[in-house]
Structure 1
Amino acid sequence: MEQDRQNEQLPQEKSHFFSTRFIRFLGGKNLLFLLIITLLAGCIIFIFDKISFIFQPFLVLLEVVILPGVLGVILYYLLRPFLRILMRWKVPRVWGILLIFLGLIGVITLLILLVVPFLKNQFTNLLHEFPIYFMSLIDSVISFINNSRINEYLATANIDYNLVLENITDDLTKTVKDTATNLASGVANGVTGVVTTLTGIVLSLVIVPFILFYLLWEGEKMPKFILRLFPPRMRAFVDDVMEDMDNQISSYIQGQILVSICIGIMVTIGFLIIKLPYALLLGTLAMVTSVVPYLGPVIAITPALIIAIVTSPFMVVKVGVVWTVVQLIEGKFISPQIMGKSLSIHPITIIFVLLTFGSLFGVPGVILGIPVYALIKVFVQHFYMLFKERYNKFQTNTADQYEDIQ
């Protein structure tokens, strides 16, 4: 009785819209806050879309800075381990940077003098001979169809495959000629645009050494400078985020470059062993395209297969064996040792990321899609953990409510 009287004396809470079961199930006032934030975000996006011309100078600045900035960052992460080794050997930072620059200039000079001319000759010869390879491939397909049962099925279906292949060849030849003509006329009509583009690329490449020098000189101090911009209570969290991002980018760039070099060397050696034409060029192509995971090897193997098919059927088998061995060694031994599980990204996710970024930003998006996704993933993971800690901090302990039921 006394308990009932006390309950009657307590002030009864007024029922309102947010106290209904359905609204409480959806989140109560949190739902209202979420709707307001979504509405404000939509208004901001709409307003920015209407005044996008204001940001045009910033977009131009970004386009000018993005190429040398990305190249500088990639070279910084590749050369930073060497600088740290030199500093461990008591070499001053300035002298270490100068030694690294001298070594880099020496490597580039050797490549230009020794490797590039040979690759240029092979590439030129391949361009001249590729139409012959392609026509030989068409003839091989026709011969295969004539000597198989497919010819009977095509005859039953009234399909003239000779006409189909002839139309495909004519269309391809016409497309190549039209492309060459349009390209020539475009170059002739837009010499100023071509010169401007080349000038921008040259200036970007000239700026790269200066960006690289200052990154090697001040790169270790940058996180401390960024931390000072945040309140003291947030600095530990921000420091963890930046350290994780740095590890992700460093592991990916260094690991992917090393893996690509190993693939290029193994493919070149394998193609030399089986005496496939243009082995060095195809190995270099495999090394360059392997920077893009999963999609790169598919691009690299295509010209090798075309050359092998035209050479001999047994050469196709040998190319397949070489490629299989290279992929097995890379997947089972090289990548686990060099890359480890630093990114922890599922292969399906990588493929979707590459396709999405490639559709949005083209070739640069394919190259930079994985590291950008890794940065976004680190950022989201840390903020999700911060949200969980904050939510658990203010979450009331509801275990006592179910003691009677248990």
Structure 2
Amino acid sequence: METQRVWSEKLRSFLFNSKFVGFLFVLLLVGLNILVLSKISYVFHPIEVLFKTVALPLLLTTVVYYLLNPIIDYLEKRNVKRIYSILALYLLIAGIITLAVTAVIPLVRQQIASLASNFPHYFEQFRLQIEEWLGSDFFEGIQETLNFDPAQLTANISERASSILNNTWSSVGGIVGTITEVVLSIVTVPFILFYLLKDRKKLTPFALGFVPTKLRDRFLTVMLEMNHQISSYIRGQIIVSFCIGCLLYIGYLIIGLDYSLTLAIVAACTSIVPYLGPAITITPALIVALVTSPIMLVKMIVVWTVVQLVEGKFISPQIMGKTLNIHPITIIFVILTAGNLFGVLGVILAVPGYAVLKIVATHLFRWFKARSGLYESETANR
């Protein structure tokens, strides 16, 4: 009887006094809340619409903010008022945009139209060149083994392009709505950015006002780390991508590759995605160079190799450093997963999103270790 009473007290103490059981109970409540909210998701439809409406303007504004804010801060240290610095930068950006619209965009549009119209021909020439290099018998064996017909693939590409064009004309309303949404988002960016740059110092106290007093120090630490990670990544990746585009454009001009400006711009845009972006970008350049001549292909590979070496050995270490401290394999898996879940936007936001989640998870785990009592302190083990 005494033994039963002792075990009963131990069980009661474990269930009601154990921090681990309390943690499991909290997880259970969180799961139940998620289940209930998933059943009444229609209640949050207005919030979803609001998020979709403001997501793109806020995303664009955040990127531009992290690019311009260091310049504004530097000028402010030089006793230049923020309002004057912002206005001067706006005038400079307006001049650059005007120059791009009048000089660069017509050339790029012409090259893109020419490349799009000639790409099926380039692809067919690429296939014939590969077949000539490998030998017709070997190539036919691969086609039979893989049940792969290049001619049919070319026809499918043409049919798909025609289908996309027809669907485009049949859904002009949807396209106009999308274009209108993007244009409105771009138009609102300067206004949001102006007040964000102007009132930057008021943002942190405003956010801390919603946090309980005892948690403000920890919350401020998390905010500072997140801000450092995001700002370093955005500025560094955009600068690196711009350098890659400029170097490739210079290299393509030297070797005389067709569509050099368009291919360099595509390379700069896709290089925003780490590791996978350059691998994707090289494909159209390879096809154009191979169709031009085998010598051009060798020149293009040399230019690409030199640019990648310069970027990997000099540009990225100086600009990016080790700001994220994330293993390359982890980055690749994160990008692939985010791409499958959220599409192109997920690919772009995968790395900074993972960095933010990593910071939050790290601080939550440290808080859990300190409060749970399940982990011995490192000083006690020494």
Give 1:394 shift.
Answer: 9.1
Residue type of the alignment partner of 1:125: S
1:31 to partner: Cα distance:
4.5
Q: 1:174 aligns with which of 156, 159, 167?
A: 159
C-alpha contact 2:20 2:372 (8 A) present in aligned 1: no
CA contact (8 A) 2:72 2:85 kept: yes
Give 1:186's aligned amino acid: S
> 1:227 touches 1:235 (CA, 8 Å); kept in 2?
yes
Q: Give the match for residue 33 of structure 2.
A: 44
Gaps of 5+ in 1: 1-10, 401-406
Aligned with residue 270 of structure 2, among 289, 304, 307: 289
Deviations 1:371-398 (A, max 9, x none): 1111111111222223333456996999
Instruction: Provide the residue aligned with 1:321 in structure 2.
Output: 302
Measure how far apart 1:65 and its partner are.
Answer: 0.2
- Which of 138, 144, 153 is the aligned partner of 1:150? 138
Conserved? CA contact 2:168–2:175, under 8 Å: no
What is aligned with 1:101?
90
Deviations 1:85-138 (CA, angstroms, capped at 9, x unpaired): 211121112111111111111111111111111111111121222222112112
**Maintained 8 Å contact 1:294/1:351:** yes
Partner of 1:220: 201
How many angstroms apart in 2 are the aligned matches of 1:324 and 1:286? 14
State the structure with more CA Rg.
Answer: 1
CA distance in 2, matches of 1:396, 1:126: 63
Q: Which moved more, 1:241-250 or 1:176-185?
A: 176-185
391-400 or 273-282, which moves further after superposition? 391-400
- The answer to whether the 8 Å contact 2:245/2:267 transfers is yes
Partner of 1:355: 336
Return the letter of the residue paired with 1:115: V
1:59 to 48, 52, 56: 48
TM-score computed with the length of structure 2 as normaliser: 0.90
Q: Aligned-pair distance for 1:358?
A: 1.2
The one-letter code matched in structure 1 to 2:171 is G
Report 1:125-274 matches (<5 A): 125-146=114-135, 150=138, 154=141, 159=144, 164-187=149-172, 191=173, 193-274=174-255
1:89 aligns with 2:78: yes
Per-residue deviation, 1:362: 1.1
- Structure 1 residue 273: Cα displacement: 1.6
Change (3 A) 1:160 1:392: closer
Change in CA separation of 1:196 and 1:167 when aligned onto 2, cut-off 3 Å: closer
Give the number of the structure with larger relative contact order, counting CA–CA contacts within 8 Å between residues 6 or more apart: 2
State the Cα deviation string for residues 220-268 of structure 1 (Å, max 9, x = none): 2211222232233322211111111111111011101110011001111
SS of structure 1 residue aligned to 2:273: coil
Task: Say yes or no: does 1:300 pair with 2:300.
Answer: no
Q: 1:377, 1:348 → 2: CA distance?
A: 16
Inter-partner Cα distance in structure 2 for 1:100 and 1:397: 51
Give the secondary structure class of the aligned counterpart of 1:293.
coil
| Aligned-partner SS, 1:380 | helix
- RMSD over aligned CA atoms reads 3.1
Contact 1:142 1:162 in 2 (8 A): no
Shift of 1:300: 1.1
- Listed one character per residue, the Cα deviations across residues 252-303 of structure 1 (whole Å, up to 9, x for unaligned) are 1110111001100111111112211111111111111111111111221110
CA shift for structure 1 position 146: 4.0
Hey, what's the Cα distance between the residues in 2 that align with 1:399 and 1:94? 54
TM-score if structure 1 supplies the norm length?
A: 0.85
**Separation of aligned partners in 1, 2:380 and 2:88:** 65
Tell me if the contact between 2:248 and 2:303 (Cα under 8 Å) persists in the aligned partners: yes
**In structure 2, do the counterparts of structure 1 residues 330 and 181 end up closer, same or farther at CA, with 3 Å as the change threshold?**
same
Describe the SS at the equivalent of 1:16.
helix
**One-letter amino acid matched to 2:347:** V
Q: Which amino acid letter does the alignment assign opposite residue 280 of structure 1?
A: L
SS at match of 1:150: helix
Alignment check: 8 A CA contact 1:18 1:29 kept: no
Decide whether the 8 Å contact of 1:119 with 1:281 is kept in 2.
Answer: yes
Deviations 1:339-368 (A, max 9, x none): 111110111111111111111111111111
Change (3 A) 1:38 1:110: same
Q: Distance in 2 between matches of 1:210 and 1:72?
A: 9
2:91 alignment partner AA: L
Pick closer, same or farther for the CA change 1:18–1:343 going to 2, 3 Å. Answer: farther
Q: Number of paired residues?
A: 379
Q: 1:396 to 1:132 in 2, by over 3 A?
A: closer
Gaps of 5+ in 2: none
Match for residue 99 of structure 2? 110
C-alpha distance in structure 2 between counterparts of 1:397 and 1:329, whole Å: 43
Q: Quick one: distance in 2 between partners of 1:264 and 1:383?
A: 40
**Structure 1 199/73 Cα, relative in aligned 2: closer, same or farther at 3 Å?**
same
- Give me the identity figure in percent: 45
> Is 1:383 the equivalent of 2:364?
yes
